[in-house]
Structure 1
Amino acid sequence: MASYDPDEFAGFEVEKGADFAATPDTFQRLWTPHRLVYVEDGQQPDADACPFCLAPGKSDEDALIVARGQHAYVLLNLFPYNSGHLLVCPYRHIASYDEASPEEVAEIGSLTQTAMAVLTATSSCEGFNIGMNQGQIAGAGIAGHLHQHIVPRWPLDSNFFPIIARTKAMPKLLGEVRDEISSAWPA
């Protein structure tokens, strides 16, 4: 692991919520201007290189797919926030939820419910963050292909590592997590 270099964080500022105009809150803000590159540079793949279009053509193991439905499928996030971070994607290359057919919406919902049950059983998580970032401006890493995040959460799973060391500690390898979840997925 790289050593801590205080100069690397010299541009960071922390503001107290009480310093803002309007109704004060208890939040502090950590400004991370180095992440602006993700917003400004786009970081979007070409349409023919969409990872969510390419994944279903690969083996489940290679694509980290844990379950396939008729209109959508579930795979592990290659850059997870937590172990077991899943994505539910329609097979069809659509950018936003309002473009999804009723069948796709229903299956995305059903796969999300099943994923929650499987993650609870396999990892004993106690909660979830579930959401969709719609469009590049909203922070979608792959803005051209709709996908829903399912992030399992545990008490005290937040720590200083991602902020100070720019490292996310993942207790299991992606392949192990995929095998565990897909084995527990109902037939």
Structure 2
Amino acid sequence: METVWAPWRMAYILSEKDRNCFFCHKLREPARDAENYVIYRGKEAFALLNIYPYNNGHLMIAPYAHVSSLTALRPEQLLELFDITRRCEQALREAMRPEGFNIGINVGKVAGAGVEDHLHVHIVPRWNGDTNYMTTISETRVIPQQLEDAYKLLFPYFSENRRFHSLNV
């Protein structure tokens, strides 16, 4: 039998769980963006690293509005949500050079939403061969990059002087 060590999980296991929406919680802490892995804040939506990623570079984009479906968003909120998603794809493409992406939204628990009440988009970079027997047989994911390293790699792509801000809407 193989042993996979994941010591970073113990902090989560032992931590007090916030029953409130973690997206809204992170929005109220702009001074802690790096610690919370918030990589970009727009006018209507923001992007952050998923701390339980399916793959390294897994980002989530959420509106500031605490809503559970696309139909509850105003047009300008919807536009920025998908504009940031598009820009995240570009930043990930340049920084990590993936061969593809999974981009999706789970609306409702039955559809797989882990956070039912706060709509968000997942964007997961993918590489040929990035899945292996570990996920299929052992129900274990191997993430080859620390969150801090992914944040440091991606953050410059979201700074004011980068092309992220110059993509045409």
Q: Does structure 2 retain, via aligned residues, the 8 Å contact 1:66–1:179? A: no
1:50 aligns with one of 12, 21, 25: 21
Counterpart mapping for 1:45-84 below 5 A: 46=19, 49-58=20-29, 59-84=32-57
CA offset at residue 62 of structure 1? 1.7
1:140 aligns with one of 87, 94, 113: 113
Q: How many residues are matched?
A: 144
Structure whose CA Rg is larger: 1
Q: Residues of 2 paired with 1:145 and 1:55: CA distance?
A: 13
Amino acid at match of 2:3: A
1:124 is matched with which residue? Answer: 97
Q: Does structure 2 retain, via aligned residues, the 8 Å contact 1:56–1:63? A: no
Partner SS state of residue 157, structure 1: coil
Q: Residues of 2 paired with 1:81 and 1:142: CA distance?
A: 16
CA offset at residue 186 of structure 1? 4.5
C-alpha RMSD over aligned residues: 1.5
Q: Residues of 1 paired with 2:138 and 2:110: CA distance?
A: 27
Q: Does structure 2 retain, via aligned residues, the 8 Å contact 1:87–1:150? A: yes
Partner SS state of residue 152, structure 2: helix
Counterpart mapping for 1:161-172 below 5 A: 161-172=134-145
Q: Give aligned-pair identity as a percent.
A: 36
Please tell me whether residue 104 in structure 1 is matched to residue 77 in structure 2: yes
CA offset at residue 175 of structure 1? 1.2
2:128 is matched with which residue? Answer: 155
Q: CA deviation digits over 1:79-130, x for unaligned, max 9?
A: 1111000000011110111101111111011101110110011101011111
1:25 is matched with which residue? Answer: none
Q: Residues of 1 paired with 2:153 and 2:92: CA distance?
A: 9
Q: Residues of 1 paired with 2:101 and 2:77: CA distance?
A: 22
User: Where does structure 2 lack aligned partners over 5 or more consecutive residues?
Assistant: 5-17, 161-169
Amino acid at match of 1:54: H
When normalised by structure 1's length, the TM-score is 0.73
2:3 is matched with which residue? Answer: 2
Please tell me whether residue 178 in structure 1 is matched to residue 148 in structure 2: no
User: Where does structure 1 lack aligned partners over 5 or more consecutive residues?
Assistant: 4-44
Q: CA deviation digits over 1:119-164, x for unaligned, max 9?
A: 0111010111111000111110000100000011111112111232
Q: Residues of 2 paired with 1:96 and 1:124: CA distance?
A: 31
